[in-house]
Every structure is written in structure tokens, then in C-alpha cells.
Amino acid sequence: MSADFDLIVIGGGSGGIAAARRAASYGARVLLLEASRIGGTCVLRGCVPKKLMMYAASFSRAMAEASGYGWTAVSGHFQLEGWAEAKKRELKRLEQIYQKMLADSDVEVLIGHARIAGARSVAVADRKLSAERILIATGSSTDRGALPGLAHAWSSDDVLDLRRLPSSLLVIGGGYIAVEFASILADLGVRVTIAFRADLPLRGFDDDLRNSVAEGLKARGVNVVAQSQMQSLGRTPGGFVLYRANGEPLHAEAVLNATGRKPCVESLGLATADVRLDEKGAIVVDNRSRTTASGIWAIGDVTNRANLTPVAIAEGRAFADTEFGGRPTEVDHRIVASAIFCDPPAACVGLTEAQASSIGPVDIYEAHFRPMRTAFIGSQERTYMKMVVDGHTGRVLGVHMFGTDAPEIIQALAVSVTAGITKKDFDRTMALHPTSAEEFVLMRDPTRKHRRP
């Protein structure tokens, strides 16, 4: 007996939608199952609303700087309620666009909690549906297990849904979410403290970029508390207190738990389906996103590879190309650009200085300067740029930037780095003046060389 569908996708986020539409474009009969709303974390609870909040916050800096450029009487008060209503409308608009794109692609959509119910079978409420292939794209959600008491703290979802800003906020963690929200809320006028256990925020990023981000947060008025040995989070009459083994307790009206996310695998029935999980609870997959169970694939955050929207989309499309398009495709996870949308932002692509110099000889080129726009008004803000170059071949292995427009500049450079550009190619590129980006083609001499790994 033939199955009801060629493919059932569980999860209507960026990765699941991309996979479903690509598979349908090859003529597959596709059903997409989503527990709540179409759009997933990126569109509804992550990248998109976060960036809209960042744009709202950016006006505080613009207003503060305007007088230095001759503007008078530029001031204002931020009303979260107005932004929240506009954001709600915008997310609804985007959700409808995704619904229409799925309908136009002939992907059937069903809202309900899905559970694997046997080989090639999925249960939704009291319905059982069969498919030749099942793709799990359920994403991740806030992990509340890092410290006792975190269950009472806000997640990033909660901050994005606020209707009133707290007077003070304690951000726990030093990753993407922690840094971005610390910066945004500080720009919106909240007294922000960020506490993390490492020396610097953003573990895994280049150390000079991490240092620049920490200094940038301090310059925006954020109280940066590094090397915090956190013990537990408690309640006080006025809010919260974070107890630490190596310092005074930290108090705030509200707390954002930004200690990481965990794969959404609960109640999917994976144990009965022989789908293996790793020690962090992520679904184990091979380089073609195949799980340990025949007929079941997984993509995106639920597999905990590179937990970024474009990666989930690429994995979803590669799955569909391989299984339905007759074009076996694997995603290259080695060169993935990423950005931290703090103010100023940071972005990078490729290897850090530490990673590259542990492999072989490396030349480091740097630029460190006060950008024209803020130097004009007497600001001490600095832009930082680094290029990591293979000491043998001259190939550019990594590019890192902290400063205005870093995400836009790094996205453009990521094309060249992916294509294997060399430092000589940068040298023969004409500068576009006056920009900050031109500094990347004007780096003449290495600031240091690593020769012994």
C-alpha cells in the first residue's frame, strides 16, 4: 500500500519550510506539521523580532549623536507598547507570506503536535499518517537547567514579547543572545548587567573580537561582570538576586536567562523509533542528515551542528535535493559567516587566529581606528578588523570585524573567503573611499606572524 505522503516534515521553521518547498518542487507529495505557528524561531521568536528591536534601540544612539552634527532639540522617549504592536503586525504579515509560499508550492500544512508512531508513520492528535520519508526540523528552545532558579527568569522569547521595560536587567550568559539583548536593552534605557563565567563573552569567537565586544558593551553603559562563578538565582521583593561563589550577589528587577538552547526532541517519540541522541540531547545525523533510524532525517538546531538559520535552510534544501531531486548534496559547515547584532555589531567568517595558528603558519593583518562618523563628534569608539592569512599560500582563512556595518561587510567578504581569495587579491582591489570597509584592502604589513603551531 502506498504511503499518504512522500515526505512528512515535522517543524515549520526556516529549515522545515525550505526542505518542504524544495521537495515539493521536485513533485513530491509533502505534508508539513507544525505545533504552533508557521515561521519558527527565526521569524517569530528570534532573528527577525530581535533585529526589529535592535533597530528600535539604534535610534537612541542616533538621537544622542545628532547634536554633534548640528541638529537641535533631538530627543524622545521610547514606548515599548507602540513597537510591540507594530512588531506583532509585521510578524503576522511574515507568517502569512510563509503560509502563502507553502500553499503556492503545493505543500500541505497541518497544525498539531506530531509524534513518530512507528516506521514511516506519524501521529497527530488521533490521526495517523504515513510517509516514505520523515524529516525532523523541530529546532531548539531555551535551556533552563544551567542554574537553580533559572525557571523564573525570562527567556529571549519573553523579552521580545514585553509590554513594559524593567528598570534593570541582569543577563546571565555570554553567548550571542546574552550580548545582543544586553546591548539592545541598554540602548533602550535599561540598566543592564551581563554576567558570564569566562574571561570574555562569545566563547569560540576570535579573542580580539571578543575583547572588542566586551569594550563595546562597557561603552554603551553595560556593567560587564566576567569570571562569574554563578551558584543560583533567587527572588527578592524587588526582583532577583544572582548568588556567586566569587563575588557579591548581583541584583536586578528582571533576569534574562541566556545560558544556551536545547534541541526540541521531547514527546517526539524518538526512543521508540531508534533515533539516537547525543549527550546534549541532539539528534545524531551523518553528513547527509540521515538519523540512525531508516526513513528518518533531521536538520537544523535539533541536530546541534551550526545553529544558524541559513545553515538549517541549506541542510533542508540539501536533504531535498539528495532525496527527491537526484542531486546528492552535502552542506559544507566549515565556512559559515555569523554576526552578533550588538551596538556596534561584530561579524566574522572563517578561522580565528587561535584556530589557524594551531594548524600552521599564519600572518595576521589588523586595522584599529576611530570611524569617521563617530570621531567627528568626539567619540572614542573604535572599529577593529582582522584578517587571518595562511603563511604558506597567502590564502585568506578568516576575516573578523567589530564596528558599524560589520555584518553587511562580512557577508560580502564571505563570498571571497568561500571562493578561496588570497591576500594578494585584496591588495590589488581598489579601495572604495571613504568607507570603513576599504581598510580591508589597505592592510599592508602583518602585525604579527605565527610560525610554530
Instruction: Point out the annotated binding site for NAD(+).
Output: 173-180, 260
The smaller minimum CB distance to ligand NDP, of residues 289 and 338, is found at: 338
The phi and psi torsions of 449 (rounded to 5 degrees) equal -130, 140
Q: How far is the CB of 181 from ligand NDP (least distance, A)?
A: 9
Binding mask 185-214 for ligand NDP (x = CB under 6 A): -----------xxx----x-----------
Contact present, 256 and 172 (Cβ < 8 Å) = yes
Cβ-proximal residues to 74 (8 Å cutoff; 6+ apart), any chain: 63, 66, 67
Number of H helices, E strands in the chain: 12, 22
The phi and psi torsions of 137 (rounded to 5 degrees) equal -140, 55
Applying the rule CB under 6 A, the residues between 254 and 283 that interact with ligand NDP are: 258-261
Q: Does 235 bind ligand NDP (CB under 6 A)?
A: no
Q: How far is the CB of 23 from ligand NDP (least distance, A)?
A: 25
For residues 273, 285, 297 and 138, what is the CA-based torsion angle, rounded to 10 degrees?
Answer: 90
Cα–Cα dist 323/288, whole Å: 10
Q: How far is the CB of 287 from ligand NDP (least distance, A)?
A: 20
The binding site comprises 51, 138-140, 173-180, 260, 301
The smaller minimum CB distance to ligand NDP, of residues 309 and 436, is found at: 309
Q: How far is the CB of 272 from ligand NDP (least distance, A)?
A: 29
Q: Does 177 bind ligand NDP (CB under 6 A)?
A: yes
Q: Is 368 a catalytic residue?
A: no
Q: Indicate which residue of 113, 400, 433, 450 is catalytic.
A: 433
CA-closest candidate to residue 289, choices 4, 7, 3: 7
User: Which sign does the torsion angle of CA 45, 46, 52, 53 carry?
Assistant: positive
The smaller minimum CB distance to ligand NDP, of residues 11 and 175, is found at: 175
Q: Does 52 bind ligand NDP (CB under 6 A)?
A: no
Residue 44 is classified by DSSP as I
Q: How far is the CB of 4 from ligand NDP (least distance, A)?
A: 34
Q: Name the residue number minimizing CB distance to ligand NDP.
A: 175
Element (DSSP H or E) covering residue 400: strand 396-402
The smaller minimum CB distance to ligand NDP, of residues 230 and 389, is found at: 230
Q: Does 341 bind ligand NDP (CB under 6 A)?
A: yes
Residue 69 is classified by DSSP as G
CA-closest candidate to residue 293, choices 313, 316, 269, 312: 269
Cα–Cα dist 121/272, whole Å: 12
Q: What residue ranges bind ligand NDP (CB under 6 A)?
A: 146-147, 173-178, 180, 196-198, 203, 230, 258-261, 307-308, 338-341
Catalytic residues: 433
